[in-house]
Amino acid sequence: MRNRIRRGKTFLKSSLLCFLTILLGTMVLPKAKAQVKPVDAEGHEWWQHAVFYEIYPRSFADSNNDGVGDLNGIASKLDYLKNLGVDAVWITPCYPSPQVDFGYDVSDYENIDPMYGTLADFERLASEAHKRNIRIIMDFVMNHTSDQHPWFKESRSSRDNPKRDWYIWRDGKGPGQPPNNWESTFGGSAWQFDPTTGQYYYHYFYKQQPDLNWRNPAVEKAMFGVTRWWYQRGVAGFRLDAVDTLFEDPDLHNNPILPGKNQYGDPNMANVYNTKLPELHGVLQRLRKVADEYDAVLIGETWTKNIAELKQYYGEDNNELQMPMDFLFTKVDKLSPDEFRKQIAGVNAAGWPVYVLSNHDIVRAYVRYGDGVHNDAIAKVMAGLYLTLRGTPIMYYGEEIGMTNNDPKRRQDVKDPIGKLGWPKDKGRDGERTPMQWNTSENAGFSETKPWLPVPASYKTHNVETELKNPDSILNFYKRVLALRHDDAALRDGDYVALNKNDHNVLSYLRRYKDEAVLVALNMSSSKQQVSFDLRAQGIKANMASTLLTTMKTNQEKAALRSITLAPFSVYIGKIEE
């Protein structure tokens, strides 16, 4: 996670259980090979037609009322997800973990943390999801383990332990002096002295998250084995955590220091020697080969500075990640048609785009784009944008009901360690991780107990139950736009053609597929806009569109392309009549 966008038993018993689990898995789960075939004549694959939905399991649904969400909770909401129009869920880490980084510190890659349930619960969830044609994507924390992982415990036990070289150990430069100047992205030095063996280990994130040594082939073998283990349990792919930090310069050159200090009070630094090293692409290519054996998809947490960097993650022959996330899109942190146009053109040229508006590390879109007055209308404009673009969208849970950030008000309430360290400049990520708002009952229907994070007051109005009843709700807009996306070939597969490129208020484009074309016009301004489209340059003579979906009350079945009036912060989607 980088560059965050902020507003600121007995053997017999366990073998039997294991055998039964595998048997159950093979009986009820789809054969991995059968999962993915091109889904159309153009050779698109399932993940290109799918809508993904990120679930932060601690916060989605709490089935056992302990204040923390769980897998059975997710299973109980599969019908909701299906009706919403979701085809795949990415579940952030639910493996055994000391929870220092809320699951991103894994102590066993091939199990489920008891706080979230059991492997049997996972198998049930996967099988119920499969019945509904929803695929499961797991999170693969590749860069580091927990310091409580047995590999690290062995590694730190002695200098000649066989696992010593599974992590990055170095001598200090002198007493009390770390090996070089590299900083942890979570504050302080990236080196931690370990008195047992008198050396430092490297951690890009918290000190409880030691980095694995990906130069060691044994590490690669073990970690690739983890992915096979899950593929064999019906998992359809992985979201790869922190991919750009896998490798470090073996000679440990100091990073250049930049002017100023970061939110933790550390000098700013260009991480040229410990991020985005070229070696990581070899790992991704080999990992892709394993994924291809199972027809699985790899999604990347790919923080890139520009499109050229993003392009590299697809691989020269599209042999790395099918779905590197385009975080540059989230960096367009304002309703700017010009900037969105630029970003969309860039990623379209790079490969198959993967759009996100926010996630468990990024302040919710509802507040980032909202002006405090028209937030609901703006939430629909943003949905109208990224759910109608060419590419695959990854939604973040709660976005579809307009969930807001609920940042802690006092330092003592902060759960995310970086919020404690960075307070008050950086309040951490609790605000974007609050419980899903299901209804108006206490704790928003998430749990009957006080949840691990407090629900924002907005749950009274912004919750699933209330919004389902209101035809104009954000939720019903999401449902309609997702249904349209699934039905309409132009919205699914069509080319993206930017229109009216000089309009600074309205973002308009066509999605063109064979002889079909769909027009999308998004008024990103707070005033009424009159737009006119001349599509002759596109070889289209038509002058009418039939309305497919709009947020405007004065809904007409047809619109004359020479003059469409768009209400403030509104969406118009229409089929061009040829």
Q: Which residues bind ligand GLC (CB under 6 A)?
A: 1, 101, 104, 141, 205, 241-242, 301, 360-361
Task: Name residues whose C-beta falls within 8 Å of residue 530's C-beta, 6 or more positions apart in sequence.
Answer: 563, 564, 565, 566
How far, in Å, CA of 396 to CA of 89, rounded? 10
Q: Give the nearest distance from C-beta 430 to ligand GLC in angstroms.
A: 12
Nearer to ligand GLC, 4 or 341 (CB): 4
How far, in Å, CA of 156 to CA of 266, rounded? 27
Structure tokens at 465: 């139950």
Q: Give the nearest distance from C-beta 279 to ligand GLC in angstroms.
A: 19
Structure tokens at 322: 């099918």
Q: Judge whether 316 counts as a catalytic residue.
A: no
Nearer to ligand GLC, 209 or 466 (CB): 209
Burial tier of 317 (Cβ tally within 10 Å: 0-12, 13-18, 19+): exposed
Q: Give the nearest distance from C-beta 506 to ligand GLC in angstroms.
A: 34
Cis peptide before 424 (omega within 30 of 0): yes
Phi-psi map region of 306: left, alpha, beta (phi>0 left; psi -120 to 50 alpha): beta
Q: Which of 435, 352, 429, 366 is nearest to 395 (CA)?
A: 366
How far, in Å, CA of 228 to CA of 235, rounded? 9
Q: Give the nearest distance from C-beta 345 to ligand GLC in angstroms.
A: 27
Q: Which of 172, 214, 216, 551 is nearest to 384 (CA)?
A: 551
Nearer to ligand GLC, 276 or 380 (CB): 276
Q: Which residue in 101, 147, 183, 241 is the catalytic one?
A: 241
Cα angle 126, 91, 128 (rounded to 5 degrees) comes to 20
Q: Which of 61, 59, 67, 131 is nearest to 92 (CA)?
A: 59
Contact 258, 268 (CB under 8 A): yes
Q: Give the nearest distance from C-beta 141 to ligand GLC in angstroms.
A: 6
What per-residue string of b and e applies to 180-191 under the rule 16 or more CB within 10 Å gives b?
Answer: bbbbbbbbbbbb
Q: Which residue in 292, 293, 371, 442 is the catalytic one?
A: 293
**DSSP annotation string for 394-412:** EEETTGGGTPPP---SSGG
Nearer to ligand GLC, 87 or 241 (CB): 241
Nearest residue to ligand GLC, using CB?
1
Nearer to ligand GLC, 301 or 430 (CB): 301
Nearer to ligand GLC, 248 or 488 (CB): 248
Cα angle 565, 570, 576 (rounded to 5 degrees) comes to 60
Nearer to ligand GLC, 46 or 204 (CB): 204
Structure tokens at 500: 């009216």
Q: Give the nearest distance from C-beta 186 to ligand GLC in angstroms.
A: 8
Q: Give the nearest distance from C-beta 356 to ligand GLC in angstroms.
A: 11
Q: Which amino acid is at 261?
A: K
Q: Give the nearest distance from C-beta 429 to ligand GLC in angstroms.
A: 7
Q: Judge whether 241 counts as a catalytic residue.
A: yes
Q: Give the nearest distance from C-beta 525 to ligand GLC in angstroms.
A: 33
Please list the residues that pair with 54 across neighbouring strands: 90, 396
Task: Name residues whose C-beta falls within 8 Å of residue 19's C-beta, 6 or more positions apart in sequence.
Answer: none
How far, in Å, CA of 105 to CA of 82, rounded? 31
Nearer to ligand GLC, 155 or 185 (CB): 185
Strands of the sheet with 354-356, listed across from one edge: 323-324, 297-300, 237-241, 135-141, 88-91, 52-55, 392-396, 354-356
Nearer to ligand GLC, 101 or 121 (CB): 101
Residue positions annotated with a catalytic role: 241, 293
